[in-house]
Structure 1
Amino acid sequence: MYDIVGVRFKPAGKIYYFDPGDLPIHKDSHVIVETARGVEYGRVVVGRRQVTEDSVVLPLKQVMRVATPEDEMTVEENRVRARQAMVTFREKVAKHRLQMKLVDAEYTFDRNKLIFYFTADGRVDFRELVKDLASVFRVRIELRQIGVRDEAKILGGIGPCGRLLCCSTWMGEFDPVSIRMAKDQSLSLNPSKISGLCGRLMCCLKFENDSYQDQDAMA
């Protein structure tokens, strides 16, 4: 058995598991951990528990430490710097005449990397843009092209149901959604009725799909 805690780095982000060691970590604690992107600040959403070996991907990285108030200030400063970096990014995109739409930007906690998220109709050759940005910010630059569902997750909004988007408030990952699910639920197949803000099929078609399939099996 292994001790684990589950950590999220964004409000509706994917949950990653770490070894809490002997640290006094509880649910809703904030912690500093090492990830593939670098050192990051996250919130514990799954409290300390024991799991079997086949429930996690080994080896687990250990939580570095519990976050401090000073770390919170660093995170807020990083957010401010990232918003400022978005202004420069748009200027550089215009200079290089690239067809890309900036969605968001973020620094890793340790400020070793600055990540820009963008959408584009096709592939974009942004090699010169990256060089230009690196000369300005003096950190590692990563440009990540995302899809329309990820764009909606980042930007948020109000769904057709009148509630905040599920993807931006609690969904950690996207599940596959098919038109068959709408048919099984006897919904209108009008795209405007079953599409979310992203223009793709609404994620909530998946939520009750299993219940409808069970009903069909019992009929």
Structure 2
Amino acid sequence: MSDEYTDHNLPEEMFDILHEEEYETPKQSKAPPANAEELPQPIYRLKTLHSSETFHAYYVPTGSETHFMKQCDLEAALEGPRPQEKPQAPSLEQCRVSLAVNTAEPSAAQAVVAAAFIIPNRSLVIAPTKYGRDLVEVLGVVRDLSVVNADELVLIERPATVDDYRRYLENLEREKEALAKCRERIEAHNLPMKLVSAHCLLEDGKILFFFTAESRVDFRDLVRDLVSLFHARIELRQIGVRDEARVTGGCGVCGRILCCHGLSDKLNPVSIKMAKDQNLSLNSLKISGPCGRLLCCLSYEHQFYRDARRELPNEGNRFTYDGTLFKVIEVNVLSNRIRIAGEDGRLLDMDAARLKYADGHWTIIEEEQV
């Protein structure tokens, strides 16, 4: 988040620009219900194109839902008209919906349309974000409603048009220019900050600049310069290194796109204990991502390892077997096997199913009893 500064000598319009929460969440034409059981259906997961942040939204069908297009369709529409395709016969499900709409009451017909229509995945739509109204992508329908916060639910306003996409492409060029000029002004003011990205909102006269810094930065003079350069509202937001990786993207050690950029909804906390529980190397080079922080994927299987270890002895536990005191030196959760070392020098590798916990200690069951 950006730092907040107050300077009563600044003009009123500049004072608004420098505030941390100077933006307002766009008002929705229809407020979502607060009770999770009354959530509108279906609920979609959306992704902002500039920062890969995700949020949830719903849509109220209007009855003529034929204009939702993917990015590739909008690009093709910009290039020029395509030859008309031969109309296909309606499917059986479409016939049933049409029959239900024609024979039902107006209110019932609207309910049938709302229940039957689903926005296609990867469609581009206009929806309010925490930065302002913008072009966002529909990732799909949310099946698990327990992850949906009714208070944060927003309304999808309309499908994106060719003009919206043309303006989006123009903004991309404008963002490159804004990024270069902002870097020049940062160097001129000798500010200890690293500029990550710039974003021009689709329908608001505001430019967002995301940056990282090790401490609080006084960027008031920088904002004044940017306002005079672009003649637009300026918002600077300080983000962490993990947020930087989510914005810029990249390739992980697994060879796939970074989870924070193309998979995860939120940046969940990750600890070194997760690596220990999974018997991973504690070499920071092997368990850290390009951002320099612990890999996000360490949290994916952590709960499985925690549940599995409850049925297994911990490393360091001691018990007597075959007249010798043994110590657990390794626990392999995936193969469900343990390795124990005896005081007589023996090393045994056995199935964890042979161990039984009773009366506060572990014992080994003879093989014929397993």
Q: Which has the larger radius of gyration?
A: 2
Distance 1:191 1:64 in 2: 45
Residue 166 of structure 1 is matched in structure 2 by 259
3-state DSSP of counterpart to 1:218: coil
Distance 1:159 1:195 in 2: 10
Distance 1:28 1:214 in 2: 36
How far 1:92 moved relative to its partner? 0.9
The percentage of aligned residue pairs carrying the same residue is 42
How far 1:10 moved relative to its partner? 2.8
How far 1:29 moved relative to its partner? 2.0
Asked if the contact 1:11–1:168 (Cα under 8 Å) also holds between the matched residues in 2, the reply is: no
The match for 2:185 among 81, 92, 95 is 92
Residue 127 of structure 2 is matched in structure 1 by 33
The match for 2:199 among 91, 100, 106 is 106
**Counterpart amino acid of residue 47 in structure 1:** V
How far 1:181 moved relative to its partner? 0.6
Residue 14 of structure 1 is matched in structure 2 by 53
Pair 1:185-2:278 in alignment:
yes
Distance 1:29 1:37 in 2: 20
Q: Which runs of 5+ in 2 are unaligned?
A: 1-37, 66-118, 313-370
3-state DSSP of counterpart to 1:103: strand
Cα gap change, 1:156 to 1:63, in 2 (>3 Å)? closer
Residue 44 of structure 1 is matched in structure 2 by 138
How far 1:116 moved relative to its partner? 0.6
TM-score by length of 1: 0.89
The match for 1:196 among 248, 271, 289 is 289
How far 1:13 moved relative to its partner? 2.7
How many pairs does the alignment contain?
218
The match for 1:211 among 284, 304, 307 is 304
Cα gap change, 1:192 to 1:62, in 2 (>3 Å)? closer
3-state DSSP of counterpart to 1:37: coil
Distance 1:45 1:156 in 2: 17
Distance 1:216 1:59 in 2: 37
> 1:47-76 deviations in whole A, cap 9, x for unaligned?
388969x94324854322111122111111
Q: Which runs of 5+ in 1 are unaligned?
A: none
Distance 2:152 2:211 in 1: 32
Pairwise mapping of residues 117-128 of structure 1 onto structure 2 (< 5 A)? 117-128=210-221
Asked if the contact 1:5–1:49 (Cα under 8 Å) also holds between the matched residues in 2, the reply is: no
How far 1:184 moved relative to its partner? 0.6
Distance 2:44 2:257 in 1: 28
Distance 2:144 2:265 in 1: 22
TM-score by length of 2: 0.55
Of stretches 24-33 and 197-206 in structure 1, the one that deviates more from structure 2 is 24-33
Distance 1:34 1:72 in 2: 16
3-state DSSP of counterpart to 2:125: strand
Q: Which has the higher contact order (CA 8 A, sep 6+)?
A: 1
Cα gap change, 1:75 to 1:210, in 2 (>3 Å)? same
Asked if the contact 1:29–1:43 (Cα under 8 Å) also holds between the matched residues in 2, the reply is: yes
Cα gap change, 1:193 to 1:101, in 2 (>3 Å)? same
> 1:180-217 deviations in whole A, cap 9, x for unaligned?
11111111112122111111111111111111112102
Of stretches 105-114 and 55-64 in structure 1, the one that deviates more from structure 2 is 55-64
3-state DSSP of counterpart to 1:46: strand
How far 1:126 moved relative to its partner? 0.1
Asked if the contact 2:211–2:237 (Cα under 8 Å) also holds between the matched residues in 1, the reply is: yes
